[in-house]
Amino acid sequence: MPARNTVQRQIIADALCQLANHPTADEVYEAVHAEHPSVGRATVYRTLGRLADEGAIGRVRINNGADRFDHQTFAHYHVRCVRCGRVDDVMVAELRGIDDAAAAASGYRISGHSLQFDGICPACQAAEKNDEASTA
């Protein structure tokens, strides 16, 4: 049962491509809703989830925060700035073999892993430096 090709689906997929930097479902909703006020929040959440399940888009699960969506689908990891919440791609080589190691260690059949880095983004590092300079 392939998904039906509804207007909303198109609108939402397009909006995601337009919005860079891993928007949350709610950010996508705001963008979509601004242009097409009749589109409801539930539709955006449902559609993004479905697109992600189909593999058409990526879903980035954030510890302690809203899921984010990504029009890019190739595998890569993410960093999150603990100060401003910004999320960026991290181009480190994908961990290969680690799933097998985990399977061997746990007895689970491993289907995948998710890895998230936490840190301070360049902009917040700069801001920090300014704070220190002005405080000192």
Partner DNA sequence: CTTTTTGCAAACCCTTTGCAAGACA
Partner DNA sequence: TGTCTTGCAAAGGGTTTGCAAAAAG
What residues line the site for its own copies (CB under 8 A)?
61, 63-64, 67, 77, 79, 81-82, 88-93, 95, 98-99, 101-103, 105-122, 125
Dihedral of alpha carbons 15, 91, 55, 98, sign: negative
What's the closest the beta carbon of residue 13 comes to its own copies, in angstroms? 22
Q: Which does 111 bind (CB under 5 to 8 A by kind): its own copies, DNA, none?
A: its own copies
Closest Cα partner for 88 from 114, 62, 52, 66?
62
Alpha helices, DSSP H, located in 19-97: 25-35, 41-54
Select 35 or 100, whichever has its Cβ closest to DNA: 35
Beta carbon nearer to its own copies, 73 or 117: 117
Helix (H, G, I), strand (E, B) or coil at 86: coil
Nearer to its own copies (CB atom), residue 10 or residue 114 = 114
Torsion of CA 62, 68, 73, 77, to 10 degrees: -30
Question: Using CB under 7 A, which residues numbered 8 to 27 contact DNA?
Answer: 8-9, 24-26
Q: Which of the stretches 63-71, 76-84, 87-95, 126-134 binds DNA when contact is defined by CB under 7 A?
A: 63-71
Q: Rounded to the nearest 5°, which phi and psi values hold at 7? A: -60, -45
Residue 6 binds DNA, judged by CB under 7 A: yes
Binding mask 64-103 for DNA (x = CB under 7 A): -xxx------------------------------------
Q: How far is residue 39's CA from residue 2's CA, in Å, rounded to a whole number?
A: 22
What is the distance between the alpha carbons of residues 79 and 88, in angstroms, rounded to a whole number? 5
